[in-house]
Amino acid sequence: MLLRKLSITAIASLTLLSPFAAVSQNAQAATFSSGEVTQVHHFQKEYANLSKKIYSQNNIYTTAPHLTKPFSAGKIQQDYINDQLAYINYYRSLFGLPPIVDNKTANKSAQKTASVMAAINANPFINQHGLPNEQRPAYINKSIWKLAQDTSETSNLNFNVSDQSAGDVVTDLLTDHYNLTGSDTGHRAWLLSTRLTSTGIGAAYGTNGYRYSVQKVLNVDDLFQNASQPTVAYPSAGVFPVELTKGKNIAWSLYLSNKIFAGKPKVTITDKDTNTSYNAKKVTNYSSAGYGNFKTVITYSPGKTPIIAGHEYQVKVGNLYTYTFKLFKQNTVTESDQVADKAKTYQRVSEQQNPHAKSAFLNQSAKLWAALNSKSDHYKVTNYFDSLKKGQWNHNFFIRHFLKDFTVKFK
């Protein structure tokens, strides 16, 4: 096995698809091992093979929904579902996470939910988890409306007026840079959950021109899965695409599957090629929100750190985690071939009013969590489920189903 290190120049000469951007002559280029080069080429090939097909209202359906009386949800192309799932699993592979599958029942629920939102032209600039600000039209029956409320509360939502590939929706959610109110990276956490096993995908267009996209991410069974790994850092350790690290409002993050940390760590980023360190900005602890079923959720901005393909970086998050990564160019298409970004909006997942704050089911949820986590004294008994729900992640819905099969003796 070839164990020697290869320079950026040598690597570029070995491949027609150079994985790295040009490096300033004033900076020492990072070295990549032969194994890292192989991994970069693997990711580049996987990304190149992902479908870039652009979907619109004209080609997304096999059966178009009927959004007035009589209401019907329609059906989206299976290729759209397959494409979106392929992007999800490609991005999960960057972090060493196992692939997930789509669930037919969840797909149907997601499609009904997307079509309900399209039928009412749900306002894309306010909270739509649970449809708390919308009124049910008479032509949508109560059971479908209730299903849409429950599903939207347990899903990533994306609203967009631009025609996109199925993968563009996932990229928006992963980078979380169109989060309407901040840098909590909740959408990312659910996509990269170490306990996520399956999803459901739906999409529908309203007469207002918006595509309402629904991706089911909060599943009752996943809560009790063993974490596939203890830590998920963004950018991930090893090699990582530069395209996913920089841009307006792209926060970096650290998620811990089982370890609870309540403080605000100091985060330092060191460019190892220039031997220059930078302090991260806007360090925030969102752990109490429980996104992705992680016990610790830290986000931060790389601040003034120059982000350069071909460079190696070390990130030190307090005493929690220290790691290194090297950046490569994921997309080998030239910039002149790129399509310019269009305006997007998409639904945030944090800090919304909880209309069920005093409900019996919330108390039941809290007691269940306390019973299952009796050794944890960091969270108050109402904290986990209440924070996850926040009026949108509706544990009342799945706790009702869960309690049918699981008995807990409440004190």
Q: With 60 as the cut, is the pLDDT of residue 25 above it?
A: no
- 3-class DSSP assignment, residue 325: strand
pLDDT in tens, 313-339: 999 999 999 999 999 999 987 544 444
Backbone conformation region of residue 400, classed left if phi is above 0, alpha if psi is from -120 to 50, else beta: alpha
Beta-bridge partners for 321: 317
What pLDDT sits at residue 354?
33
Q: Which residues touch 275 (CB under 8 Å, ≥6 apart)?
A: none
Give percent of the chain with pLDDT exceeding 70.
73
Whole-number Å distance between alpha carbons of 305 and 311: 12
What pLDDT sits at residue 309?
94
DSSP 7: -
Mean pLDDT across 135-142: 97
Phi first, then psi, for residue 372 (nearest 5°) are: -80, -15
Identify the top-confidence range among 183-187, 333-337, 356-360, 390-394: 183-187
Per the model's pLDDT, the better-predicted residue between 125 and 55 turns out to be 55
Whole-number Å distance between alpha carbons of 37 and 217: 33
DSSP 22: -
Asked if 355 contacts 132 with a C-beta cutoff of 8 angstroms, the reply is yes
Query: What is the secondary structure of 161-222 as a DSSP string?
Result: SS-EEHHHHHHHHHH-TTBTT-S--HHHHHHT-SS--EE-EEEEE-TTS-EEEEEE---TGG
Phi first, then psi, for residue 39 (nearest 5°) are: -65, -40
Count other C-beta atoms under 10 Å from residue 94's C-beta. Answer: 21
Instruction: Give me the half-sphere count of Cα atoms (radius 13 Å) on the Cβ side of residue 93.
Output: 14
What pLDDT sits at residue 249?
86
Whole-number Å distance between alpha carbons of 176 and 182: 9
Mean pLDDT across 125-149: 94
Per the model's pLDDT, the better-predicted residue between 308 and 410 turns out to be 308
Mean pLDDT across 195-201: 98
pLDDT in tens, 26-81: 445 678 999 999 999 999 999 999 999 999 999 999 999 999 999 999 999 999 99
Count other C-beta atoms under 10 Å from residue 38's C-beta. Answer: 12
Question: What is the pTM (predicted TM-score) of this model?
Answer: 0.79
Domain 34-408 matching CATH 3.40.33.10: the answer reads yes
What pLDDT sits at residue 177?
81
Identify the top-confidence range among 93-107, 170-184, 377-391: 93-107
What pLDDT sits at residue 30?
74
Mean pLDDT across 331-355: 44
Which of the four pLDDT bands, split at 50, 70 and 90, describes residue 241?
very high
Full strand arrangement of the beta sheet holding 281-285: 231-234, 252-256, 296-301, 281-285
Mean pLDDT across 153-177: 94
pLDDT in tens, 246-270: 888 899 999 999 999 999 999 999 9
Strand 267-271 versus strand 276-279 pairing type: antiparallel
What pLDDT sits at residue 127?
85
pLDDT in tens, 264-309: 999 999 999 999 999 999 999 999 999 999 999 999 999 999 999 9
What pLDDT sits at residue 20?
53
Whole-number Å distance between alpha carbons of 95 and 97: 5
Per the model's pLDDT, the better-predicted residue between 170 and 338 turns out to be 170
What pLDDT sits at residue 358?
36
Mean pLDDT computed over every residue of the chain = 80
What pLDDT sits at residue 19?
55
DSSP 226: P
Asked if 285 contacts 253 with a C-beta cutoff of 8 angstroms, the reply is no
Which of the four pLDDT bands, split at 50, 70 and 90, describes residue 125?
confident
Mean pLDDT across 135-148: 97
